Structure 1
Amino acid sequence: MPFLDKIQLWAEERPHDTAVVVGSSRLTWAGLRDAAAALPGQSTNTTVLAEPNSSQFIERYAAAVAGERRCAVLDPQWPAPMIEDVTARIRAAAVPATGKDELVDGDPSSTFLIGLTSGTTSIPKAFTRSRRSWQVSFEASIEFFGLSQDDRTLAPGPLSASLNLYALSECLYAGAAFHTLPTFDVGDAHAAISHDGITRLVLAPTILRLLSERGLAGDVDASGIRSIICAGSKLDARTLEAARRWAPHAAIYEYYGASELSFVSGTRLAAGQPLDASGTGIGSPFPGVDLGILDDAGRSLADGEHGNISVRSGMVSNGYLWGDDGQALRCLDGWFTVGDQGYLDRGTLHILGRRSDMIITSGKNVYPHEVELALASVPGIELAVAAGAPDDIRGQKVIAGVVPAYGAVTATQLRSGLDGLLARDKRPLQYFLLSELPMTDRGKVSRKVLLDWIKNHDPRAQPLA
């Protein structure tokens, strides 16, 4: 059961307590239960939601997974043709709805969520999750993050993003108040933290840096925040330093996971605890997860050996509705992997990145993720993107684009800044100053776009001497 039985329980035990806040709109537990229960059932077993954050969205989401129904949440910022295409594909797989419209959870093994994840084509892959997989995930994350009913969680991003949709669902399951915003705005997020008694943040590192730095500049009090959960990319030293100053009492969590695998590993940094910002380590196995590094034949590899990051857990998705190319989610003798590469070192998982991103230069394997983490730790660098460019002598050469945090930056500064952070044979041979990050039309950082800019002499990527 994901969370509907829990909503019924909290509505009986604490009917007037706050369940959800979206901007100025507030729902109590009884109000959420009654509003969701009053929504008419759909003619098919599948509801597609593609809309901005609102209390009505949350009501519809709860109603859409009643019984053994299922829901797909799409990003409303996608291009209209993509939304139409994905919606048509999902509806083609739907069947007529059966059973009553009561706000209760269906069979734990049944599908309740259709998730979308990026693929090699313009159409995202669609995978499914069972009710049981999220219940297991809730129990594990509540334990790991220490979520309690006294917490007030703010996830300021769009609920169409899996990080925020999961945070909402986790809070509904745990009986903890969940706060979000109709659209992301730094001032509105600060106002919620100041006036709503927020104790817990769930957000990407880039948003944490923005809130922390502007919060410090604007003297926004964040001393009541007890925990900060980050995912989506690895924390960098500048973000951590700003967050420590702004929210001095907060434990900071970062974790690694994949849409199809759920949680894999995580780490907790107590208030004041330092971060290995240039390293690739991202904690120990998540509660309930068996973690191993396997080769392509499914053989277990020893500490320090690179291979497929693989898990056994009850949180893994069921598979795909479409988009399964045989490589996206593989099962190796009971172990599941999405092809991310890494290694274990005394129980700590180190992430190297996707094999498809690997650069082979002069016979050596270099993962862009390692290069990007090291460059992001160089003073004065905001963000970095690394890639492999064709090279007649080496096969490929490592190149990197950087977005400076402030002032000017030179190639000499970058080269000297990598001393002690990155092996010489992994260092970029050429640097480019980026006026913006190379992004796909779906808003994801793209190494291919960076290479296209360089090949076409795009003014957004200027060579650094």
Structure 2
Amino acid sequence: MPFLDRLQRWADDRPDAPAVVVSGRYLSWSELCDEATALLPQTPGISLLELPNSVDFAVAFAAGVAGTRECAVLDPTWPDSIRHGVRDRLAEFIRTGQAADPESPLAQELTDGPPDTPFLIGFTSGTTSIPKAFTRSRRSWQLSFEASKEFFGLRPDDVTLAPGPLSASLNLYALAECLYAGTQFNTLESFDVADVHQAVAFDGVTRLVLVPTMLRLLSERGLAGGVDASGIRTIICAGSKLDARTLEAARRWAPGATIYEYYGASELSFVAGSGLPPGEPARAGNTRIGRPFPGVEIRILGGSPDPGAPGTTELPEGVPGSVCVRSGMVSNGYLWGDDGEALRSFDGWYTVGDQGYLADGALHILGRRSDMIQAAGINVYPHEVELALTSIPGVTSAVAVGLPDDLRGQKVVAGIVPAHGALTVTQVRTALSDLLAREKRPQSYYLLSELPVTDRGKLSRGLLREWIETNDARVAHLG
């Protein structure tokens, strides 16, 4: 069961307590159950959910996964061509007769279907081409809920705020996790720093779930504006590694919070993570993520003669290779778009191609194999370069990419968003000499007026490469 059987329990135990709050509008547990139940007769075996953040989204999602139904959650901001392409693919899938039967007795009530049946159709992207579609079983999310509740210490009195789009897996999972655990879930119609600050200061929010770029904005502007975040007990960050400046700002703005970061993927669920309690020294600027989640096994595999393949030889601690995972939380695989590269499986182990290594039982993430820069025969992971750069005073954010080079094959270049005041290339090169091996240091630096990110707040190295190649006004050569 993902969460619907639990939902009925909370409606009986606390019918009038708020379950979902979106920009001030809320549904109680009983209202959520009643409205989702009323929607069942018109909810097909496979439904398309492409609503913006709203209480209606929560109602439609609950109805869309009831019984043996499956819910495909689309991003409403996708271009029409992407949305139409996904709809066409889903229509073809439904015509093959693989859709759940909404007329079955199990589908007539707001209850969970068999654990091994699929309930969610998720998507990996959707900005430039038809995204890959994958499915998840009900059991995989139940195991994920139990693991995340234990790992993050979710408490019955927590009030969670996930201010990003519910169509993103990070926020959709946070919603479902709260419905499973019986704790209040809050979000906003759209991300706005002032609105988040108001919720933190006045709505009893104790737990934030968000990406690092959002945390940076909230922390720095919250400190400048004197926004009280003393009630925040937990901050959960995912999507990219926390850089030194974001971590420092978050520690100052929410001094009582344990700050968690974790590594996972839509296809893999949770893999590894760690929490930094209040007052504990930070290990900023390194690649360490943390130990495996409950129920997760990790191996680092390599040894393949094909540089694009993960290999099958288990590598010793400290040696980089493909991060491979075995757990009950892994997805069922793809409905379409499986090119054999994005998610590989063998002997019960799965990988999405991320590179890393184990040290003292903790996972270190270096980045995607596809992001790796090969400069003069040396493998350089942009993630390492970015973490080193952001630990330098005067650097707010950084992003590294590889550009073609006649001599090296590729050369490492870096874009930097400076802090207040001037920043010279000499300062950067001097500071980096103590942080990064010579062969991994960027050959050129660019000042950025803003960080290249996707519409979901994730760092986009491809966008930086495009800015540099087109002489975009947001890029200025530093040296």
TM-score normalised by the chain length of structure 1: 0.96
**CA-CA distance at 1:406 after TM superposition:** 2.2
Q: Which residue of 1 is the match for residue 241 of structure 2?
A: 234
Q: Deviations over 1:236-263 (max 9, x none)?
A: 2222222122211111111010110000
What is aligned with 2:261? 254
Judged with a 3 Å threshold, the aligned counterparts in structure 2 of structure 1 residues 201 and 254 are, in CA distance, closer, same or farther, namely same
2:284 alignment partner, one of 277, 280, 285: 277
One-letter amino acid matched to 1:202: V
Q: Secondary structure at the match of 1:39?
A: helix
Please show how residues 196-345 of structure 1 align to structure 2 within 5 Å. Answer: 196-295=203-302, 296-345=310-359
Any conservation in 2 of the 1:277–1:377 contact (CA below 8 Å)?
yes
Q: CA deviation at 1:88?
A: 2.1
| SS class of match (1:264) | strand
Count residues in correspondence. 465
The answer to whether the Cα contact below 8 Å between 1:403 and 1:433 also exists between their aligned partners in 2 is yes
Partner of 2:307: none
Change (3 A) 1:310 1:225: same
Cα deviation for residue 420 of structure 1 reads 2.3
Deviations 1:248-279 (A, max 9, x none): 11111110101100000000100022222210
Shift of 1:101: 2.3
For residues 92 and 406 of structure 1, what CA distance do their matches in structure 2 show? 54
1:44-59 matched pairs, under 5 angstroms: 44-59=44-59
Q: Does 1:373 align with 2:387?
A: yes
Structure 2 residue 416 is the aligned partner of structure 1 residue 416: no
1:245–1:437 distance in 2 versus 1, CA, 3 Å: closer
For residues 214-255 of structure 1, what are the alpha-carbon distances to aligned partners after superposition, in whole Å with 9 as ceiling and x for unaligned?
Answer: 222222221111111111111122222221222111111110
Look up the match of 2:167.
160
Give, as a single letter, the amino acid of the residue that structure 1 aligns with 2:451: L
For residue 452 of structure 1, report the CA deviation from its aligned partner: 3.4
Can you give the 5+ residue segments of structure 2 that lack an aligned partner in the other structure? 303-309
Aligned to 2:27: 27
Structure 1 gaps of 5+ residues are: none
Cα pair 1:330 1:338 within 8 Å, conserved: yes
Query: What is aligned with 1:98?
Result: 103
Structure 1 contact 298–333 (Cα < 8 Å) conserved:
no
Q: State the shift of 1:441 in Å.
A: 8.1
Q: Which of the numbers 393, 411, 415 marks the counterpart of 2:407?
A: 393
Shift of 1:459: 3.2
- The C-alpha deviation readout for 1:328-383, integer Å capped at 9, x for no partner, is 11113221100000000111111111111111111111111111111122222222
2:421 counterpart SS class: coil
SS in 1 for 2:289: coil
Q: What letter matches 2:382 in structure 1?
A: P
Q: What TM-score does the superposition give when structure 2 sets the normalisation length?
A: 0.93
Letter in 1 for 2:259: I
Whole-angstrom distance in 1 between the partners of 2:432 and 2:41: 58
Contact in 2 for aligned 1:278/1:421 (Cα 8 Å): no
Q: How many Å apart are 1:121 and its aligned residue?
A: 6.0
Which residue does 1:362 correspond to in 2? 376
Match of residue 128, structure 1, among 129, 132, 135: 135
Look up the SS of the partner of 1:282 in the other structure.
Answer: strand
RMSD, aligned α-carbons: 1.7
Q: Which aligned segments of 4 or more residues in structure 1 are displaced greater than 6 angstroms? A: 440-443
Question: Among residues 435, 455, 463, which one is paired with 2:469 in the alignment?
Answer: 455
Residues 22 and 179, structure 1, Cα contact 8 Å, conserved in 2: yes
Distance 1:335 1:40 in 2: 37
Q: Secondary structure at the match of 2:355?
A: strand
Shift of 1:43: 6.2
* 8 Å Cα contact 1:194-1:221 kept in structure 2: yes
Answering whether residue 352 of structure 2 is matched by residue 347 of structure 1, we say: no
SS of 1:198 mapped into structure 2: coil
Distance change in 2, residues 1:43/1:140 (3 Å): closer
* Identity among equivalent pairs (%): 65
Match of 1:63 in 2: 63
The 2-side partners of 1:389 and 1:279 are apart by: 24
The answer as to whether partners of 1:46 and 1:91 remain within 8 angstroms in 2 is: no
By how many angstroms is 1:397 displaced?
A: 1.1
Partner of 1:14: 14
Mean alpha-carbon deviation: is it higher for 309-318 or for 147-156? Answer: 147-156
